[in-house]
Structure 1
Amino acid sequence: MAGFQLNRRTFIQGAGAALTFSAWQGRGLAAEYPPRVKRVGLIGAGWYGKSDLFRLIQVRDVEVIAVCDVDNNHLEEAGKLISERQASGKVPVLYTDYRQMLADHAFDLVLIGTPDHWHARQAIDAMAAGAHLYLQKPVSVDVLEGEAIRSAARKYNRKVQIGTQRRSTPHLMDAKERIIDQGLLGNVSHVEMCCYYHMRRDGNPPEEPVPDFLDYDMWTGPAPLRPYDGLPHGSWWRTFMEYGNGITGDMCVHMFDTVRWLLQLGWPKRVSATGGIYVQKGGKSTIADTQTAVFEYEELNCVWQHRTWGTPTDPEYPWAFIIYGDKGTLKGSVMKYEFIPVGKGERITKEVVYEREAFPEDVGEPRIELHVAPATRRHMLNLLSAIENDHLPVADVEEGHISSASCILANLSMRLDRPLTYDPQQKICIDDPEATALLKRPYRAPWLHPGV
């Protein structure tokens, strides 16, 4: 691992030129970046919004000029922490309405870390206001939102990096170069993906008054207005289909996107899924605790399985992908990869990369995912290169849309109990008017859906 012992100056100036694998250099990340300070805004200043922003601050001298969140506690904490981290020491201007923030400032880049039901409206409005985007995954909560975001990015000529940062994860980039690109798997005709984390929050908390520091109506925005039963932050909102797409929309999107990137796959020709709430039936949660989905390609099936109960199939790979070829198998996760050859070939493994020496402040940051921080830094550098050198980022909005929409289609297939074939040109499910009608969720007034 000696190639990864780089100091902060080398990392920032060379964008990882000290690293050994050429896949990173091939994206143009080894070049020095111009010193121009970028004007940055953040919409959604909770856990992951701040985490993404702090990774950006680590690799570029940006000026965070404004932050928006509907929770005043989040907002004040973010302002303080940002002032301590950015070079100017300034506290950004704080907003509770992102529309006012966009109206008051000109941004080069806006980061969006809000819940999924807000992504489309905020992403499109930020691009229309002149900003490039770092948009957390999934791209959208319905298929036509994703189509609208992709169209807006092309219309306004904005670079949009989606937070599917497995494409910038050092050990998985190494797997792509050493295993996939060298053809060590042979003919690939089956993929398995899974998540067995017990991450589905449940329970029956009572209704209660909305606290003064939270604008709950604005937090809800275009989604259905549920009775308030506690802070939605963290993982509580994720347990409701009103705001997202369950475990499949949250976790499958990462692994499916990784597999698509590794194998150069586009839209699946057909999506099918079964599942539901089979075990954890006692609480308010509306997301499936069990689901199997199949994303079909020509002579290749990508199969997803999640359970939020029981034990993992393989305890070493509780959230993972396994790509089967006739010459070998590649097992990958956020923590490592293994290549297992058929016969007597060489077994190849690589562990997750940490950068504690280059970025010691990572260790003390509350709730940081230390294994993800190096990938997010590379993801940010790749986006900056895309903006400044006019190329598509590695997790371009179209790639993120395909992965997100495919997971949404899996949920629709489960709901309708039949396979679906989506046509991205016509923006319909072929020969299925009922499914086509479900590609667009209704918005709560006065918010307007951006889709066709």
Structure 2
Amino acid sequence: MRSTRLSRRGFLKTSAAVTGAFAAPCIVPSRAFGANERIVLGHIGVGGQGTGNLNGFAGQKDVSVAAICDVDATRVAKAMKAAQGKGHMPVAFEDYRRLLERDDIDAVVVSTPDHWHALNTIDACAAGKDVFCEKPLTLTILEGRKMVNAAREHGRVVQTGSMQRSSKEFRTACELVRNGRIGKVHTVLVGINTPNHPGAPVPDSEPPAELDYEMWLGPAPERPYNKNRVHYNFRFFRDYSGGQMTNWGAHHLDIAQWGLGMDDSGPVKVEGAGTFHPQNWHEVTETCRVTHTYADGTKVLVGQGHKDIPNGTTFIGSEGKIHVNRGKLVVEPEEIAKQPLPDDAVRLYESNDHKRDFLDCIRSRRKPICDVEVGHRSATVCHLGNIAIDLGRPLTWNPETEEFADDDEANERRLTTYRSPWALKS
């Protein structure tokens, strides 16, 4: 077995990300897989969520885990042990670009903090790899469009990790809505979690020896190391994440988009307000209310920390309502769900295993249940809410051009500035 020790090079080179405006209408053929041939995976990011993804994929009979990459040597060691426990013998990398140079790797699983998703995914597509990228897909709106362009240009399968689409209760709820069982939908309630951050700030310090903090930051602004800003806690700082709005919105707003048939579109107006931690030591909302208005007048109301908006997604129509959350489906009146849908009913993509769906699509070359365009559109709805809260005014959004109307300040927030030498190329 090769050594699992990470190097401490920590050097940075200009990203090779290339997207381009060309968007191919289909996914190009990959190499032909034999019936018993394994799909070779590399895992980029093996923290808590990343190790969970590693275990999920490593347990599939047709998968070989060939490589693991992380900037924290402690996490690499744990992930290596987990992979070896399932019969895999991966090689460890500190720089994801070295992993992408491996010609034997068919696809990568991206489980890095949000501010890395675009670079990891775009570079992987350019290297000819299919991608399973964790949700939320992006840190900013225009990153998502560049990711879609890269996937289409290079003919890659890209699955977003919004895995609720692969659970029966969510598919059932959305099929009932799409087939008019609750009449015309006029309101959707989306309840998201409140922050579960550490309770108090801590002083800055030197990064631990096992962490290449410079590489952890990557394209994000240079900041002193603080243990409350890294690993799980990254999601409470806007350099790296959109908070629970994007963390949980990428689940529950994604279901709202699915039920409304908006996978290639989004709202046209947004307004919102939020409250923040009284000590102001982190940068995301503690509570919020956001209203998204769609072109047909449908309102999607997002609530964080408000009892009148329950966690999950609630569709309210002229003839009933449906509330859905993990392991829970409540239909009012109950008769709506008891009557089977007719043969000519709208049927949604059926997946019962999000990771299995990705692997099957690598072989078939069809788009997965939560294709990169879908993930981008759902993440965009989340970002719109944060931008409206930040600016404190109603905004008008064009989902076709992906621009705000007559608002330069809002449009500037569609993309962040990457720290040199990192760059997204279009």
Deviation at 1:345, TM superposition (A): 3.7
Distance 1:119 1:264, change over 3 A: same
Cα distance, 1:195 vs structure 2:
2.0
The 3-state SS of whatever aligns with 1:114 is coil
Cα 1:313–1:424 change in 2 (3 A) is: closer
Alpha-carbon distance between aligned partners in 1 of 2:282 and 2:120, rounded to the nearest angstrom: 26
- Choose from 161, 166, 169 the match for 2:167: 169
1:243-265 Cα shifts (integer Å, max 9, x gaps): 11111111112111111112212
CA contact (8 A) 1:56 1:377 kept: no
- Is residue 42–residue 65 contact of structure 2 (8 Å, CA) maintained in 1? yes
Q: Gapped runs of 5+ residues in structure 2?
A: 1-33, 339-349
> Per the alignment, do residues 241 and 206 of structure 1 end up closer, same or farther by CA in structure 2, a change over 3 Å counting?
same
Q: Would you say 1:217 and 2:209 are equivalent positions?
A: no
Q: In the alignment, residue 390 of structure 1 is paired with which amino acid?
A: R
Residue number in structure 2 paired with 1:148? 146
Taking structure 2 as the reference length, the TM-score comes to: 0.84
Q: Relative to structure 1, is the Cα distance of residues 140 and 196 closer, same or farther in structure 2, using a 3 angstrom cutoff?
A: closer
Question: For residues 64 and 156 of structure 1, what CA distance do their matches in structure 2 show?
Answer: 23
Q: Is the 8 A contact 2:273 2:392 kept in 1?
A: no
Match of residue 135, structure 2, among 137, 161, 171: 137
Distance 1:70 1:403, change over 3 A: same
Alpha-carbon RMSD across the aligned residues, in angstroms, is 2.3
1:409 counterpart = 2:394: no
Look up the match of 2:253: 256
Q: 1:220 Cα deviation (Å)? A: 0.6
Task: Tell me, in whole angstroms, the C-alpha distance in 1 between the residues paired with 2:319 and 2:400.
Answer: 36
Tell me the amino acid that sits aligned with residue 446 of structure 1. Answer: P
TM-superposed CA distance for 1:105, in Å, is 4.1
- Partner residue in 2 for 1:76: 77
Q: TM-score, normalised by structure 1?
A: 0.79
Q: Determine helix, strand or coil for the equivalent of 2:59.
A: helix
Aligned to 2:94: 96
User: Residue 60 of structure 1 aligns with which residue?
Assistant: 61
Please list the CA deviations of residues 70-104 of structure 1 after superposition, one character each: whole Å capped at 9, or x if unmatched: 0000001101110111xxx3421001110111124
Q: Paired residue for 2:325?
A: 333
Show structure 1 runs of 5+ residues with no match.
Answer: 1-32, 349-374
Cα distance in structure 2, aligned partners of 1:228 and 1:276: 28
Cα distance 1:45–1:236, how it changes in 2: closer, same or farther (>3 A)?
same
Is the Cα–Cα contact under 8 Å of residues 271 and 406 in structure 1 kept in the other structure? no
Q: Which residue of 2 aligns with 1:397?
A: 372
Q: Do the aligned partners of 1:43 and 1:114 also contact (CA within 8 Å) in 2?
A: yes
**More off after superposition, 264-273 vs 294-303:** 264-273
Query: Once the two structures are superposed, what CA deviation does each residue of 1:265-302 show, in whole Å capped at 9, x if it has no partner?
Result: 24224242322334x21251011112111221112111
**What residue in structure 1 maps to residue 223 of structure 2?**
226
Greater shift, 53-62 or 257-266, is seen at 53-62
Using a 3 Å threshold, how does the CA distance of structure 1 residues 36 and 422 change in structure 2: closer, same or farther?
Answer: farther
**Aligned partners of 1:436 and 1:198: how far apart in 2?**
27
Looking at structure 2, the residues matched to 272 and 425 of structure 1 have their Cα atoms a distance apart, in angstroms, of 16
In the TM superposition, what whole-angstrom CA distance separates every residue of 1:286-324 from its partner, at most 9, and x where no partner exists? 1111211122111211110112xxx7447xx4x211101
Inter-partner Cα distance in structure 2 for 1:117 and 1:153: 18
Alignment check: 8 A CA contact 2:265 2:400 kept: no
Query: 1:199 pairs with 190, 196, 208, which one?
Result: 196
Contact 2:164–2:170 (8 Å) recurs in 1 = yes
Contact 2:194–2:287 (Cα < 8 Å) also in 1: no
Aligned partner of 1:286 in structure 2 is 283
Change (3 A) 1:146 1:449: same
Q: Distance in 1 between matches of 2:229 and 2:285?
A: 19
Deviations 1:388-411 (A, max 9, x none): 222211100001101101211221
The within-5 A match list for 1:362-441 is: 378-441=353-416
Instruction: Name the residue aligned to 1:355.
Output: none
Q: How much has 1:34 moved relative to structure 2?
A: 3.1
Counterpart position of 2:22:
none
Partner of 2:232: helix, strand, or coil? Answer: coil
- Kept in 1, the 8 Å contact 2:195–2:244? The answer is no
Shift of the 428–347 alpha-carbon distance from structure 1 to 2, 3 Å rule, reads: closer
- CA displacement 1:199-235 (0-9 Å, x = unmatched): 2445211111111100011001101122212164543
- Give the length in aligned residue pairs: 381
Q: 1:427 to 1:283 in 2, by over 3 A?
A: closer
Name the aligned partner's letter for residue 147 of structure 1. R
Within-5 A mapping of 1:8-23: none
User: Does structure 2 retain, via aligned residues, the 8 Å contact 1:271–1:410?
Assistant: no
1:356 paired residue number: none
* Deviation per residue, 1:88-123 (Å, 9 max, x gap): x34210011101111244321100000000000010
Question: Residue 271 of structure 1 contacts residue 409 of structure 1 at CA under 8 Å; is this kept in 2?
Answer: no
CA distance in 2, matches of 1:171, 1:60: 27
**Using a 3 Å threshold, how does the CA distance of structure 1 residues 408 and 170 change in structure 2: closer, same or farther?**
same
Amino acid at match of 2:73: N
**Residue 227 of structure 1: SS of its match in structure 2?**
coil
Alpha-carbon contact 1:196-1:312 (below 8 Å) kept: no
C-alpha separation between the residues in 1 aligned to 2:356 and 2:395?
Answer: 37
Task: From 313, 316, 324, give the equivalent of 1:321.
Answer: 313
**Structure 1 residue 140, shift from structure 2 partner:** 0.9
Q: Which moved more, 1:244-253 or 1:425-434?
A: 425-434
Output the CA distance in 2 between the equivalents of 1:90 and 1:339. Answer: 45
Which residue in the other structure is 2:42 paired with? 41
